[in-house]
């Protein structure tokens, strides 16, 4: 195979991986927006006096969005590691692989990502607001 073909193959492979990384980042961004929207809506219903249990119900989506956001961030980190391996020729571009299973030991585990600074700050603030609202409404 000519060197030019190898370079084109590598660029195409890296482009595929970068596309996945971009989608993971976009998904994480959208989740944060939905998290705030849904929790705020449930909070507003509880504050209106419709039913104070809406504050308690708001914990479920807040926690689920946190876990789902961590999943997308973990996947993004795996694909970044794959990108680096392909870019450094540790993984060949001729198979166009998107399998990240071999790289799991090279990035933080899912539980570490759940408790990462950025996710803990963002989603922890939402949980904190819910706690504050719960004690304010229920007392």
pTM metric for this prediction: 0.87
pLDDT of the chain along its 139 residues, tens only?
688 888 888 999 999 999 999 999 999 999 999 999 988 887 777 667 656 677 778 888 999 999 999 999 999 999 999 999 999 988 888 788 888 888 888 899 999 999 999 999 999 999 988 888 777 655 5
User: Looking up tokens 């539980």, which residue turns up?
Assistant: 111
Task: Judge contact between 97 and 81, C-beta under 8 A.
Answer: no
CA distances from 120 to 40, 42, 58, 74, 113 (A): 18, 21, 17, 14, 9
Q: From 26, 24, 14, select the one nearest 84 (Cα to Cα).
A: 14
CA distances from 89 to 10, 20, 65, 78, 99 (A): 9, 19, 36, 17, 15
pLDDT in the model for residue 97: 85
């Amino acid at each position: 195979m000519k060197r030019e073909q190898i370079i084109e193959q590598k660029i195409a492979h890296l482009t595929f991986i970068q596309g996945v990384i971009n989608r993971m980042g976009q998904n994480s961004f959208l989740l944060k927006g939905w998290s705030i929207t849904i929790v705020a809506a449930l909070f507003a219903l509880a504050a209106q006096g419709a039913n104070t249990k809406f504050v308690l119900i708001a914990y479920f989506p807040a926690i689920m969005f946190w876990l789902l956001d961590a999943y997308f961030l973990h996947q993004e980190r795996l694909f970044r590691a794959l990108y680096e391996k392909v870019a450094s020729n540790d993984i060949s571009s001729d198979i166009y692989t998107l399998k990240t299973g071999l790289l799991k030991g090279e990035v933080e585990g899912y539980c570490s990502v759940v408790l990462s600074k950025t996710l803990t700050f963002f989603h922890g603030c939402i949980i904190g607001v819910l706690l504050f609202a719960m004690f304010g409404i229920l007392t």
